[in-house]
């Protein structure tokens, strides 16, 4: 039995820190973003994303508006809105989801093609601008949305749309004669295909993900496309390494290029490595992990220090005032960390995941949920930022929306889907990675079981984990890297459990309550 997340519907976050943010996302931000996507929110940057789909569906007249990846904003909103139903089964949100999916169904072309930018603006350029066209990127996000929607509602309407789209992609891409032997300019579809594989068991998704991961870095692929050559000649930051296409993944020793692309690529590659049980791919990912987290990551979990190319530069080049550290990149880092935990449950991955979620991800959204940062510098002087060329992407204050709006719906899908980051399961072993208050149900070989957690981590250093279910399972609780003198009790009695890769190993019985303390000094006193 392989490592996996406990199903998203099986986990309900109930946490003193996160409740306010999740409740606000569910009740206010998901509806707010639906209004923005429909251009009905005063003061917000125009989106036109839903209207693009309506025009492609023949429901309205007009022209495409926005970036070539505008479709992905709708996809991420669908994913967030689907997860929000776990917390509140809103008829209004269900109706909005039904409307959005109905429009997408009508917009899809007969052969399965689905990308409003190329349908409306460049119908003669389909599959001819792979490096920067984002067709596969948009497919990835919409496929993720389809998997999430089915997981929460049981409805496979959108998944049927995306299955047809993936079938088209399989007919276009591959190493066989007559096909495009290439890979995405902006990675995302790899991890989405793996989600679809895990949800359906259909090997075609795994095979396509494996092809894109293993083929990346081969030539010529998209590296001879007219648009790629034009942009790479104009800007050295947009060469092959910008796309992580400068070498095969097993030959990459340092994280290069666009940070979001890199994080999504490594996430998908980790999924493939787990499914194939491939130690060489795992080793390559560990090399990249050590480089990113040891030499190219900020203390906030932010990655991608340079604004030009939204990218990594060199080891230890981590300026506080000019750093880019895009919100989406921190989300991607958390996603990658979760996959590494499934490959190898080592607390070093969970430490980074926690750091990114509590810091660089949350800095990207205001408490009211309606204002956002795209760029997250560690230091900002507003008067300087308004004049400096290297600050041109920095907003001194959060804004209601962006023309390039990848981050706002990405944050909301992360908040509404936070439960998916708490645990992984490997057969009868469950690992708790985050001390987020929650209630979770899962299955062991002996039957159904449950875990509930009440937590004041990391603020006060205490958490209580209660188990109900059959004997025979193993529970691993993480020892946080900040814990100075970690201790655990079972039903009030101190334990000295075995420690494996930063986790204490426990064998719970029905009704057991484990209390943990990080032992860290706070205000001159030790919490024990």
Whether the per-residue pLDDT at 409 is higher than 80: the answer is: yes
The answer to whether 22 touches 86, Cβ cutoff 8 Å, is no
453 is catalytic: no
Find out whether the peptide bond into 220 is cis, omega within 30 degrees of 0.
Answer: yes
pLDDT tens-digit map of 344-395: 999 999 999 999 999 999 999 999 999 999 999 898 888 887 887 777 777 8
CA distance 382 to 487: 45
182 and 250 fall within a common domain: yes
So what's the pLDDT on residue 392?
A: 76
Collapse the DSSP code of 231 into the 3-class scheme (helix H, G, I; strand E, B; otherwise coil) and give the result. helix
User: What's the predicted TM-score (pTM) here?
Assistant: 0.96
| pLDDT-derived band at 147, boundaries 50, 70, 90 | very high
381 and 461 fall within a common domain: no
478 and 419 fall within a common domain: no
So what's the pLDDT on residue 284?
A: 98
Q: Rounded mean pLDDT of 162-171?
A: 98
The answer to whether 401 touches 44, Cβ cutoff 8 Å, is yes
Six-digit token string for 499: 């420690």
CA distance 86 to 308: 39
436 and 378 fall within a common domain: no
φ/ψ (deg, to 5) at 449: -145, 170
CA distance 205 to 139: 13
So what's the pLDDT on residue 526?
A: 36
So what's the pLDDT on residue 166?
A: 98
How many domains does the chain divide into?
A: 2
So what's the pLDDT on residue 16?
A: 94
129 is catalytic: no
| Closest to 65 (Cα-Cα) out of 57, 56, 75 | 56
So what's the pLDDT on residue 520?
A: 78
Residue of higher predicted confidence among 386 and 294:
294
CATH number of the structural domain spanning residue 210: 1.50.10
Please compute, for residue 157, the number of CA atoms within 13 A of its CA located in the half-sphere on the CB side: 16
Q: Which of 3-17, 159-173, 288-302, 381-395 has the lowest mean pLDDT?
A: 381-395
Six-digit token string for 266: 């490594």
493 and 511 fall within a common domain: yes
| Closest to 147 (Cα-Cα) out of 198, 212, 206 | 198
Q: Which of 224-238, 279-293, 509-523 has the lowest mean pLDDT?
A: 509-523
Whether the per-residue pLDDT at 90 is higher than 70: the answer is: yes
Whether the per-residue pLDDT at 1 is higher than 50: the answer is: no
459 and 414 fall within a common domain: no
CA distance 197 to 206: 6
Whether the per-residue pLDDT at 2 is higher than 70: the answer is: no
List C-alpha distances in Å: 396 to 107, 455, 491.
Answer: 38, 34, 50
The answer to whether 193 touches 166, Cβ cutoff 8 Å, is yes
Six-digit token string for 210: 């494996």
So what's the pLDDT on residue 459?
A: 84
Six-digit token string for 487: 């201790």
> Which of the residues 328, 406, 407, 453 is marked catalytic?
406
CA distance 282 to 353: 18
CA distance 425 to 336: 17
| pLDDT-derived band at 401, boundaries 50, 70, 90 | confident
Give the pairing type, strands 429-432 and 423-426: antiparallel
The answer to whether 149 touches 195, Cβ cutoff 8 Å, is no
Last residue of a domain, one of 384, 400, 426: 426
Mean pLDDT of the chain: 95
415 and 444 fall within a common domain: no
419 and 457 fall within a common domain: no
252 and 371 fall within a common domain: yes
> Which of the residues 256, 310, 354, 454 is marked catalytic?
310
508 and 372 fall within a common domain: no
pLDDT tens-digit map of 466-496: 999 999 999 999 999 999 899 999 999 999 9
**Residue 439, domain extent:** 429-526
So what's the pLDDT on residue 523?
A: 55
Whether the per-residue pLDDT at 3 is higher than 80: the answer is: no
Q: Rounded mean pLDDT of 450-474?
A: 95
**Rg (Cα) of the chain, in Å, rounded?**
23
φ/ψ (deg, to 5) at 387: -110, -20
Whether the per-residue pLDDT at 431 is higher than 70: the answer is: yes
Whether the per-residue pLDDT at 60 is higher than 60: the answer is: yes
Whether the per-residue pLDDT at 215 is higher than 90: the answer is: yes
Number of Cβ within 10 Å of residue 205's Cβ equals 24
| Closest to 340 (Cα-Cα) out of 287, 416, 300, 417 | 287
38 and 59 fall within a common domain: yes
Please compute, for residue 194, the number of CA atoms within 13 A of its CA located in the half-sphere on the CB side: 24
CATH number of the structural domain spanning residue 445: 2.60.40
Last residue of a domain, one of 360, 394, 426: 426
DSSP letters along 87-102, please? H---HHHHHHHHHHHH
Q: Which of 187-191, 322-326, 336-340 has the lowest mean pLDDT?
A: 322-326
Last residue of a domain, one of 389, 411, 426: 426
So what's the pLDDT on residue 330?
A: 98
419 and 434 fall within a common domain: no
Helical packing angle, 157-172 and 91-107, nearest 10°: 30
Contacts (Cβ under 8 Å, ≥6 apart) of 490: 506, 512, 513, 514
């Amino acid at each position: 039995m392989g490592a996996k997340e406990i199903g998203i519907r099986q986990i309900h976050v109930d946490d003193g820190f996160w409740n306010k943010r999740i409740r606000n996302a569910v009740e206010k931000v998901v509806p707010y973003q639906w209004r923005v996507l429909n251009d009905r929110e005063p003061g917000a940057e125009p989106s036109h994303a839903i209207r693009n789909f309506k025009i492609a569906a023949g429901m309205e007249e007009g022209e495409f508006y926005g970036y070539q990846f505008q479709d992905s904003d709708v996809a991420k909103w669908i994913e967030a809105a689907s997860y929000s139903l776990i917390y509140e089964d809103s008829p209004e949100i269900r109706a909005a989801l039904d409307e959005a999916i109905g429009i997408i169904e009508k917009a899809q072309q007969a052969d399965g093609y689905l990308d409003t930018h190329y349908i409306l603006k460049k119908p003669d350029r389909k599959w001819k601008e792979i490096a920067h066209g984002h067709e596969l990127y948009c497919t990835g996000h919409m496929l993720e949305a389809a998997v999430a929607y089915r997981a929460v509602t049981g409805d496979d309407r959108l998944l049927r749309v995306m299955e047809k789209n993936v079938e088209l992609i399989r007919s276009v891409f591959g190493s066989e004669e007559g096909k495009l032997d290439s890979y995405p300019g902006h990675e995302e579809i790899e991890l989405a295909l793996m989600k679809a594989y895990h949800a359906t068991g259909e090997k075609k998704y795994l095979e396509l993900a494996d092809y894109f991961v293993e083929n990346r870095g081969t030539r010529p692929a998209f590296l001879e496309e007219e648009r790629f050559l034009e942009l790479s000649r104009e800007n050295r930051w947009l060469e092959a390494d910008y796309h992580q296409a400068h070498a095969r993944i097993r030959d990459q020793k340092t994280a290069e290029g666009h940070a979001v692309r890199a994080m999504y690529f490594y996430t998908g590659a980790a999924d493939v490595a787990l499914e194939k049980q491939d130690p060489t791919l795992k080793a390559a990912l560990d090399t990249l992990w050590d480089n990113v987290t040891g030499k190219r990551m900020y203390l906030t979990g932010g990655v991608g220090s340079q604004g030009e190319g939204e990218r990594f530069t060199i080891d230890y080049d981590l300026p506080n005032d000019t750093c880019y550290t895009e919100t989406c990149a921190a989300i991607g880092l958390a996603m990658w960390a979760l996959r590494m935990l499934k490959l190898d449950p080592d607390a070093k991955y969970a430490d980074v995941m926690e750091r990114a979620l509590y810091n660089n991800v949350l800095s990207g959204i205001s408490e009211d949920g309606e204002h956002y940062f795209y760029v997250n510098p560690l230091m900002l002087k507003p008067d300087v930022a308004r004049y400096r060329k290297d600050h041109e992407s920095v907003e001194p204050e959060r804004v209601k929306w962006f023309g390039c709006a990848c981050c706002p719906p990405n944050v909301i899908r992360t908040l509404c889907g936070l439960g998916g980051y708490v645990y992984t399961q490997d057969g009868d072993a469950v690992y708790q990675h985050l001390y987020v208050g929650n209630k979770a149900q899962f299955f062991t070989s002996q039957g159904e079981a449950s875990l509930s957690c009440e937590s004041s981590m990391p603020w006060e250093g205490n958490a209580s984990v209660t188990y109900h279910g059959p004997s025979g399972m193993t529970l691993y609780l993480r020892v946080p890297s900040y814990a100075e003198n970690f201790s655990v009790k079972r039903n009030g009695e101190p334990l000295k459990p075995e420690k494996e890769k930063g986790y204490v190993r426990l064998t719970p019985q029905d009704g057991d309550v484990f209390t943990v303390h990080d032992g860290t000094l706070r205000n001159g006193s030790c919490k024990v």
